[in-house]
Structure 1
């Protein structure tokens, strides 16, 4: 059975570990531990992230690496032990160590984007800039619903920010490039194509991230939070999860997932301004569409934005602000790229006729587990593993079970929801040994 997982690599002491993400869809970081996140107010006059205009001129992989590699940073989070909780993404008691991942500079005044799971529970965070300079970073804010975090280091004229491109303009087959720190191998370049669009993945808090980009560019533990670039060297996604096989002989199988840049840009701008994020909300539940195109409204939230605007159950949404809506996932992705209070024009098919309805998007209710349009095509949140939970002895073989995570029928009813016991840094002498990455991958495979 193949399952999606987050990809972050975990390390105890000096070990290069992949405990958090080499299996199934994973978060891509390298070290893991428990931390206390510092939330700081953003500057009074935030600097907007840069949005690229396409030049129409494709660059070679060599050119893209030369231009972008110095913008990619190596992130190390010092994790301290925290008490266990029912949340499968929280750290287990008695765990400590490091979690490492990737990130990228988005402004000359020192803002850096990464995955939230890379810095979750971090007592301190350091980043190594492309020129080798290492700085202490502060967590400006995190958004668990999109697995995006914004860090801040001292501004430097030598910083080389990357620009965001329009992820909605991507097509299957476009060339893409990933730069990150897999297994601690800093600023590694891998190449591939856009394999599919409008995928969905589940964030650490159960929220469904829509409009996700699937790629065959090799992504491994340590790549979490790094950029997925288009053929002009602009950011079109943030590498977040991978799919791996259930067999212990398999590693990365060429299926990776990146959060789309349009969603990321919206989140980053809000984090920079206030340290928190409000998600736009349409207030509809989607069902199957008989015609195969569009998103059929199966029900509406009472007094929600869509209901207030006059949408009805049975309506088929075929357009969103002039863009064609292929399915419910596409609609959800469009909404995720908007802000609370934005007015959008929906093209709706009703009784064999089309009409345009204006909707002012609301705010996603607290505790809602899915994205704003609530598609039924969601990834089961129990299929995800937070890498910071997997701080196990690197020599320990995971159980061979039909359930790839070693879970019982009620995975959240255990003190350790993934059937593994954590360890503190230096708790076991074996954790000081150097582990061959291929061997480690096999050991981590269920």
Structure 2
């Protein structure tokens, strides 16, 4: 009997001891986890502080460090310090309504980059950055955030102009250069917000010139700059700079099967930006002179096996109507009768409607142009005065 009681007591002691040991283990484990969590939080706070203040008190400035750096490094650092105040971070959101509750909610839809164009608060970015968004916000280099309104957009150029009501003292317009005399091999610098990491600098060279990419509307953008500076999602709309820190392009696209940088990036040349942006600020869109007629979309002409711009309709009382240009129409038997096909303008061959659209950018209302058109398999040439856009 006594032995049985002793065994029971020993068993209870073992159970209690195991429970206490388990409790102590769990407490030590919980303490360790909490310590690791606190450490991670501390590290995160430290990282955030460093991000907000990259040059805290006590850190040597560039003048003090210059002896430790080579001239190229000093040049790059100074370029970034001078240009980064002009670069901004753009976030967009869309408004959705719940089907059941009818409540509306704001959902983040994307991020991108941009840069200050003027002291009046104009911000330049890519059209595809703000496409479909109900709201856009611009964060400047001082971390102040401003609601933006859309001033104008050119989907065919993948450019858009926003405006913020920030004080002029907080706006640093970016210096602008030219893209007409660029050379393959010259240094370029891209500043942007890849993956939301604001004010990231990457460097490279001009890899090629005269490239062509498709815009968001499907219209080709020509004379595009190709570079090997790392451009990732979020860089769109940011500036491409030359070695003097002047704007030479707007980063717009990458070529990559994976969606990340593969060393092939594309930028809209600044010479295009320089004439498109004033149009967007003044009119909200690019205003090209009118030929007095509309042409069919490319896929229609392609399906019909036509090379050129197929005249779809002619404006009433236009110079094109007076010149006798024939539109596409349906005859009394219901058959489609194709209109004239424009194959040349002022000596420039026209293969698609996009070619004709891009050629019109070279002219102003009132200019006379020579058109070559095909009608019933015969070529005709006529003079036409361009009109103001409607």
TM-score bracket relative to the smaller structure = 0.5 to 0.7
Contact residue 369 and residue 386 of structure 2 kept, 8 A: no
Instruction: Give the drift of 1:360.
Output: 6.9
Report the Cα distance in structure 2 between the residues aligned to 1:158 and 1:122, rounded to whole angstroms.
26
Residue 299 of structure 1 deviates from its aligned partner by 5.0
Partner of 1:214: 226
CA contact 2:345–2:369 (8 Å) conserved in 1: no
Corresponding residue SS for 2:83: helix
Cα deviation, 1:210-240, whole Å, max 9, x if unaligned, reads: 1111111110011011111122211111111
In structure 2, the CA distance between the partners of 1:153 and 1:237, relative to structure 1 (3 Å rule), is same
SS of the residue corresponding to residue 269 of structure 1 reads helix
Between structure 1 and structure 2, the one with the greater Rg is 2
Match of 1:112 in 2: 123
Corresponding residue for residue 76 of structure 1: 91
Q: Quick check: 1:266–1:337 contact (8 Å CA) kept in 2?
A: no
SS of the equivalent of 2:365 reads coil
Query: Structure 2: how far apart are the matches of 1:243 and 1:301?
Result: 32
Flag the 1:342–1:120 CA change in 2: closer, same or farther, 3 A: farther
Residue 240 of structure 1 is aligned with which of 230, 243, 252? 252
1:133-153 deviation line (CA, Å, top 9, x unaligned): 111111112111111110111
For 1:271, the equivalent position in structure 2 comes to 280
Q: 1:245 to 1:280 in 2, by over 3 A?
A: farther
Rounded to whole Å, the distance in 2 between the matches of 1:234 and 1:332 is: 32
Match of 2:193 among 159, 175, 181: 181
Measured against aligned partners, the alpha-carbon deviations of 1:109-146 in whole angstroms (never above 9, x if no partner) come to 11000011111222221111112211111111211111
1 CA distance for matches of 2:117 and 2:365?
26
Instruction: Decide whether the 8 Å contact of 2:365 with 2:386 is kept in 1.
Output: yes
Alpha-carbon displacement from aligned partner over 1:240-287 (angstroms, at most 9, x marks no partner): 1101136xxx83210111111122222210111121222468999xxx
Which of 120, 145, 157 aligns to 1:146? It is 157
In structure 2, relative to structure 1, the CA distance for the partners of 1:171 and 1:124 (3 Å cut) is same
Instruction: From 213, 219, 226, give the equivalent of 2:238.
Output: 226
- For structure 1, the 5+ residue unaligned runs are 1-58, 83-93, 285-297, 319-327, 347-357, 366-446
Give the secondary structure class of the aligned counterpart of 1:186: coil
For the 8 Å contact 1:198–1:333, the answer to whether it is kept is no
Taking structure 1 as reference, are residues 71 and 360 closer, same or farther at Cα in structure 2, changes over 3 Å only? farther
- Which of the numbers 113, 122, 126 marks the counterpart of 2:137? 126
Encode CA deviations 1:349-408: one digit per residue, 9 max, x unaligned: xxxxxxxxx99767899xxxxxxxxxxxxxxxxxxxxxxxxxxxxxxxxxxxxxxxxxxx
Structure having the larger proportion of residues in helix:
2
Distance 1:359 1:74 in 2: 46
Shift of 1:80: 2.4
Secondary structure of the residue aligned to 2:263 is: strand
TM-score (norm: length of structure 1): 0.50
Aligned to 2:267: 258
